[in-house]
Structure 1
Amino acid sequence: MRIRLKLSVVELTMALGFVVAISISLFYLNSMVQVKNMEYQAERSVTSLARFSYQTEEFLISAKLLSELKNDWNESILQFESEFQVLKDSKAVKILGEEKLEEFAAVEGTWNELKQWHVQPAFNYIDTMILNGFEEKLGNIGILQALYSLEDSESGLADPVMSLTNYRNNLENSTIEFSTRLNKFINGLRLQSELYIRDSLKIVSIIVIVTFLLSILVISITARRISGRIGKVDEAVQILTKGDFSKNLIIKSGDEFEELANHYNTFKGELWKKLDSILEFMLQIGDSISEGVDINSALQHILDSFIKNTTADAGAVFMVDEDQQFIDLIALNGFFPCPFAIPLEFRKTRESQTDYLQKHPISVGKTIIGQAIKSGNGVYLKEAGRDEKLRQNSLKGSIEYIHSIAVIPLIISKRVLGAVALVRTSEDIAFTDMEFTNMKTFGDYAALTIDNMYNFTEAVQRREMERELRIASDIQKNLLPKKIPEVKGCSIGVHTEAARAMSGDYYDIYRLDKNKIALVICDVVGKGVPASLLMVMIRTVIRFISSPKRGAEDILNVLNKGLTRRIGTDQYATLSVTVIDEESGKVDFSNAGHSPLLYFNKKEGAFVPIDTRGLPVGVESKEVYVKKSILLEKDDILVLYTDGLPETKSSDGALYSIEKLEKLIIGNKEKTVEKIVEIIENDINLFKGTQDLIDDQTLIVVKAK
């Protein structure tokens, strides 16, 4: 039985109960009203009888004709009988029981006897007197007054008047006796009426109370049953929200609660299947990743899992390009109709539509897919054909028909990676709200998976880069001289610091023969292993071609011809070669696009830049390098450096500059070369403060003894 029907039955039962209670109450109330009316009528009867008694008392002295007195007397009798008859006909007398009916009959019998024995004889005697002419004799001054005023000749009236007086006296006495009996009956009637009314009020009160209590009982039982079933439903939902799917909701009531319990159990089962499908989706994605597939293959696996765990007929994965301007189709499963207008020539076949999607990227913000990606909000159209944007997909039976579509953006940290679009092309079968919710859950996990794969790829690349940097750093360390050779007449100090793990700077100090020392300082373009390999090539070639017979410019010319066309066009190096003759103090300098040699002449007390023209090595094979020579004297200073040193920046963006370097050296020219290098290091660190180095720094300082 339905709850509404049950409630209707309860309402009807309660209504019938109230109707019965009200009917009974109205019956008793009506009876009480009738009893009260009966009391009122009894009072009227007593009043009428009192009027009759009064007229009987005043009969002899009333100033009226004898016929008028009879008529008044008769009217009062008729009035009493009329009131008494109404009292007799009252239903209340019957309500009060048989005893009262018997008493009433006895009173009525007494009245009838009074009429028969006293009233009627008196009326008959009056009629006789009127016929005998006594009315004219008595006149209208009253019977007794007329009798007193009659002359002796008319004393023949005395006997009739005395007889009439006797009739009146007998009637008066009988009326008094009847009145006493009637009053006694009326008083008993009034007392019993009061008892009846009191009992009736008790009965009505009991009926009202019992009806009210029964109504409360029925309502309480009904409410307790309903609340008990609601409690079961609430308890089941609470258990479900805690993740416990083991308990079913069992209600055997034959109404909506039983149906609700069945629907709940069905929903719980479906929800468990959906949760299981989410787990299955995650496992499938995890398996695909564990196979070591690339991003595109992983996206295909993700799409396949979407299709498998939903009721979609087809789907596609679209990813945003690096510029965040266009969306490319990456993966397909089944035939995916274009959910937007395309040129007519591409709409004819499934292959042409697929070809169009693959070859024509979608602009971000355009079409239903681009708008979903731009806004980051999923799109769910249960009946796609009703949407104006998909009007071209509304024709049933066509290859473009889409009944239902869902677009789920792949979002991670508020960044939209792309979207998964799923369609139902079967007629009259749409995605459900729960399916769309599951799709969004799948999308969140898929986005996290894709982001993890991106991060993993970046981590692998970073690890590979770090490995290359370690290799390059090891190569570079092996290239640098382990020990600076001793030079007669000179002392040499070196400072080098890399801006990052791998430095692009390289220097070398080695002997050409027992009297000559070569100083090479180099800045290689590029980083990592390629730059380190170029350093290896430069060092190897320089060491191989260096000889006492070759000057600084010769070394650069041979090196340049050896490197050009053997390295990439984006690889080159700036460097300079300085050769010091320990015997003569002669210094030869040749430059290949590097910073000039700073020469401090002690006699002049100032720095002079020494430079030669020349492109970096590896750029132009026909480049010819030249040299410049100076004669080194005692306390003269030579400074070789890479551009990272003067380009060191302070916290306010100022550059360290060559001028500052020269002033610092001049201010400390009397100190040893080791001390000068230390002072320069400290000054640079103080200048840059907490700022990181922008470029690598290398400094070689030579001081003549």
Structure 2
Amino acid sequence: MKTLDFLTVAFSALAIAASAAAAGLFVQRKSQKGEPPSSIIFAVLSFCFLAVGCLGYLFSGAAVVLPVTVFLAVLCLILHVSAESPAVRRADPAAADSGEALFSVPEAETPAMDGDFFPDTGEEPEENTEDALLQIGQEFISHISESMTGGVNLDKLLDFANQTLIRTTKADGGVVFLVDDFEDILNAKAFSGQFPPPYKLPDDLPHKPIRVETSFRYVQLPFKDNLFGEAAVSAEAVLIPDGTADPRVYVNGPEDFLKPGSYIIAPLSIKGKVVGIAGLARLPGNPAFTETEFRTAKTLANYAGAAINNVYCIQEILEHADLERGAEIAAEIQNTLQPKRLPDLPEVGFGFFFQPTKGICGDYCDVILARRDRIALIMADVAGKGMLSSMVMISLRAILHLVTNTTKDAATILDWVNKGITGKINVDHYATLTYVSYSADTHELEYANAGHQPMLLWRSAEKKIERIHQNSDPIGVERTSAYSEIKLTVEPGDIIILYTDGLVEALNAEGVQYGVGGLSKVVAENEDAPAKDIAAAVKHDLKNFLGSATMHDDQSLLVMKIKN
């Protein structure tokens, strides 16, 4: 045999041996992993190619056979190594058989959240615990998002938090309390499962399971002398492996359902502020809570605390928005009730201005042409603000427009208005009111007051201001309140001025009050002007007096001037 033939055969034999060894190694490794040898086919192919090529050369003597088969064997080995690369893996058998992609990058898997989050044996893998807690956190965020659209109420969120804590820690029972900051107590808001009370039950409570559970569901606990209250004060979570051996746990009786087991008490807090308390219990005979479960409960309690605090914030924003909208509606109602255009009569002239303050909506002014021989002037100020004030204002206007058409005097009119309002409104929303009735035929004026600011009367002939006042009750306080009237005669050039306290009690930046003096001064200086110009002059003077000072109440003025 030639030297070339000997070397070729020797090389082929070594290649066959190497391929066989590689095949055996790969089969062994795959078997140890308990997996089918997905890439062993390449090793077998390379072995077959080399064996066939070597035998073909020996029997046929064709030198070209061996190089071709060696090339094919090497190609198979390259594919074999590629298949075993840690950066690439074979797709599932079904995908491979169907002709789909041979290699694919594995996707990250999120553990499914079913009834049990963690295995029952030993300590839970840290990664699984974190994944589970993160998913629960996402569920809390989902509940917060729903609350922004009104889709979930706080009670529903608390029940979700309680059930999640029970399920995650495998507790037998759970309870969630909310902190009442005004009374320093804890109110039970969510309860589920079996939970032996660790606090002292009322002495008169029968030791029956249903009675004890009902009492626990609605209990209010102080911030002392019980585990829950002490945790709220300290803002520290508590793990009690054995309640029977812990002096902080109160044993209420020998009954089995009252025997304490293991407890976790965890504050629901956000940035150090405790908004509630979560309690978890395991019955005697069941394994005590572990440190891992304790840490899990604290983490979930923090999630719940953040969620509850966010719902509080959202509710506050929504309530504020409702108040803002209510104030806007009240302002629209008030503006509608104010006179748009005062009558222009041969006997008298009118002037008026109204300067509202946002959110107050208390002033009401009106001029009613009751009968052909009577003109009624009304100036009222409703206590309180917002929608309730507007409702009182609407009631006042309706009653006044009804009763002023009668021939009754001013005192009787106020008495009817008072009886119509009292008992229909909250006492905090009473109204002060001035009612003036004027007869152009007799030049007689009837004045009646219900706790309102004095009427000012400019006497043209005497060039002075008279202050007309009565001591009387506001409208809506007492149904039995009695009202009287004052009758006056007026002359051409006389001026009647009605106003609210927001005008005369207005303060400038230096804290000085505008006062009746400031109002009287402007009226005296403009006595010869028409009524509407007098009102405009007062408005201008008041604006200059206040400067940049902030208004704190509505300002209203009604002027009636007797013509020549």
Measured against the shorter chain, the TM-score band is 0.5 to 0.7
Give the CA deviation at 1:390: 3.0
In structure 1, the residue corresponding to 2:276 is in which secondary structure? strand
Match of 1:504 among 337, 340, 362: 362
> Does residue 401 of structure 1 match 2:260?
yes
Shift of the 266–400 alpha-carbon distance from structure 1 to 2, 3 Å rule, reads: same
> Does residue 527 of structure 1 match 2:381?
no
Alpha-carbon distance between aligned partners in 2 of 1:394 and 1:547, rounded to the nearest angstrom: 77
Equivalent residue letter for 1:424: R
Residue 516 of structure 2 is matched in structure 1 by 658
Shift of the 681–332 alpha-carbon distance from structure 1 to 2, 3 Å rule, reads: same
Alpha-carbon distance between aligned partners in 2 of 1:364 and 1:537, rounded to the nearest angstrom: 47
Residue 378 of structure 1 is matched in structure 2 by 237
Residue 55 of structure 2 is matched in structure 1 by none
In structure 1, the residue corresponding to 2:126 is in which secondary structure? helix
Give the CA deviation at 1:419: 0.8
Give the CA deviation at 1:420: 0.8
Residue 599 of structure 1 is matched in structure 2 by 457
Alpha-carbon distance between aligned partners in 1 of 2:322 and 2:532, rounded to the nearest angstrom: 38
Match of 1:319 among 166, 178, 201: 178
Q: Which stretch shifts more, 644-653 or 598-607?
A: 644-653
Give the CA deviation at 1:521: 0.9
Give the CA deviation at 1:311: 2.4
What's the CA shift string for 1:539-566, capped at 9, x where partnerless? Answer: 2222223238444334324433444455
- Show the 5 A alignment for 1:23-62: none
Shift of the 619–375 alpha-carbon distance from structure 1 to 2, 3 Å rule, reads: same
Alpha-carbon distance between aligned partners in 2 of 1:355 and 1:620, rounded to the nearest angstrom: 45
- Show the 5 A alignment for 1:187-586: 266-279=125-138, 292-342=151-201, 348-358=207-217, 360-382=219-241, 387-390=246-249, 392=251, 399-403=258-262, 405-412=263-270, 414-425=272-283, 427=285, 429-514=287-372, 516-547=374-405, 549-565=407-423, 567=425, 571-586=429-444
What's the CA shift string for 1:28-83, capped at 9, x where partnerless? Answer: xxxxxxxxxxxxxxxxxxxxxxxxxxxxxxxxxxxxxxxxxxxxxxxxxxxxxxxx
- Show the 5 A alignment for 1:93-242: none
Alpha-carbon distance between aligned partners in 2 of 1:453 and 1:643, rounded to the nearest angstrom: 41
Provide the alpha-carbon RMSD of the alignment: 3.8
TM, length-normalised to structure 2: 0.68
Shift of the 365–677 alpha-carbon distance from structure 1 to 2, 3 Å rule, reads: farther
In structure 1, the residue corresponding to 2:198 is in which secondary structure? coil
Residue 156 of structure 1 is matched in structure 2 by none
Alpha-carbon distance between aligned partners in 1 of 2:200 and 2:455, rounded to the nearest angstrom: 69
In structure 1, the residue corresponding to 2:503 is in which secondary structure? coil
What's the CA shift string for 1:566-590, capped at 9, x where partnerless? Answer: 5555554221221233455433212
Alpha-carbon distance between aligned partners in 1 of 2:256 and 2:481, rounded to the nearest angstrom: 75
Give the CA deviation at 1:308: 1.6
Equivalent residue letter for 2:164: S
Contact 1:335–1:350 (8 Å) recurs in 2:
no
In structure 1, the residue corresponding to 2:161 is in which secondary structure? helix
Give the CA deviation at 1:333: 1.4
Equivalent residue letter for 2:392: L
What's the CA shift string for 1:218-246, capped at 9, x where partnerless? Answer: xxxxxxxxxxxxxxxxxxxxxxxxxx977
Alpha-carbon distance between aligned partners in 2 of 1:562 and 1:390, rounded to the nearest angstrom: 60
Structure of higher CA gyration radius: 1
Give the CA deviation at 1:622: 4.9
TM, length-normalised to structure 1: 0.55
Alpha-carbon distance between aligned partners in 1 of 2:283 and 2:255, rounded to the nearest angstrom: 9
What's the CA shift string for 1:398-440, capped at 9, x where partnerless? Answer: 732222x222222235432211111233547333444333323
In structure 2, the residue corresponding to 1:640 is in which secondary structure? strand
In structure 1, the residue corresponding to 2:501 is in which secondary structure? coil
Shift of the 559–430 alpha-carbon distance from structure 1 to 2, 3 Å rule, reads: same
Residue 4 of structure 2 is matched in structure 1 by none
Alpha-carbon distance between aligned partners in 1 of 2:430 and 2:203, rounded to the nearest angstrom: 55
> Does residue 632 of structure 1 match 2:490?
yes
Gap regions ≥5 residues in structure 2? 1-106, 111-121
In structure 2, the residue corresponding to 1:388 is in which secondary structure? coil
Contact 2:241–2:261 (8 Å) recurs in 1:
no
Shift of the 293–519 alpha-carbon distance from structure 1 to 2, 3 Å rule, reads: same
Contact 2:143–2:157 (8 Å) recurs in 1:
no
Shift of the 273–323 alpha-carbon distance from structure 1 to 2, 3 Å rule, reads: closer
Equivalent residue letter for 1:518: A
Shift of the 415–608 alpha-carbon distance from structure 1 to 2, 3 Å rule, reads: farther
Shift of the 469–273 alpha-carbon distance from structure 1 to 2, 3 Å rule, reads: closer
Equivalent residue letter for 1:480: Q
Equivalent residue letter for 2:166: I
More helix by share: 1
Shift of the 647–415 alpha-carbon distance from structure 1 to 2, 3 Å rule, reads: farther
Residue 538 of structure 2 is matched in structure 1 by 680
In structure 2, the residue corresponding to 1:511 is in which secondary structure? strand
Shift of the 526–437 alpha-carbon distance from structure 1 to 2, 3 Å rule, reads: same
Alpha-carbon distance between aligned partners in 2 of 1:691 and 1:296, rounded to the nearest angstrom: 45
Alpha-carbon distance between aligned partners in 1 of 2:406 and 2:258, rounded to the nearest angstrom: 84
Gap regions ≥5 residues in structure 1? 1-243, 248-262
Contact 1:281–1:442 (8 Å) recurs in 2:
no
Give the CA deviation at 1:613: 4.8
Contact 1:485–1:510 (8 Å) recurs in 2:
no
Shift of the 703–442 alpha-carbon distance from structure 1 to 2, 3 Å rule, reads: same
Alpha-carbon distance between aligned partners in 1 of 2:482 and 2:256, rounded to the nearest angstrom: 78
Q: Which stretch shifts more, 437-446 or 457-466?
A: 457-466
Alpha-carbon distance between aligned partners in 2 of 1:288 and 1:332, rounded to the nearest angstrom: 21
More strand by share: 2
Give the CA deviation at 1:274: 3.9
Contact 1:303–1:315 (8 Å) recurs in 2:
yes
Contact 1:368–1:389 (8 Å) recurs in 2:
yes
Alpha-carbon distance between aligned partners in 2 of 1:377 and 1:687, rounded to the nearest angstrom: 58
Alpha-carbon distance between aligned partners in 2 of 1:586 and 1:683, rounded to the nearest angstrom: 31
Contact 1:338–1:357 (8 Å) recurs in 2:
yes
Shift of the 347–281 alpha-carbon distance from structure 1 to 2, 3 Å rule, reads: farther
Alpha-carbon distance between aligned partners in 2 of 1:452 and 1:340, rounded to the nearest angstrom: 30
Residue 700 of structure 1 is matched in structure 2 by 558
Residue 590 of structure 1 is matched in structure 2 by 448
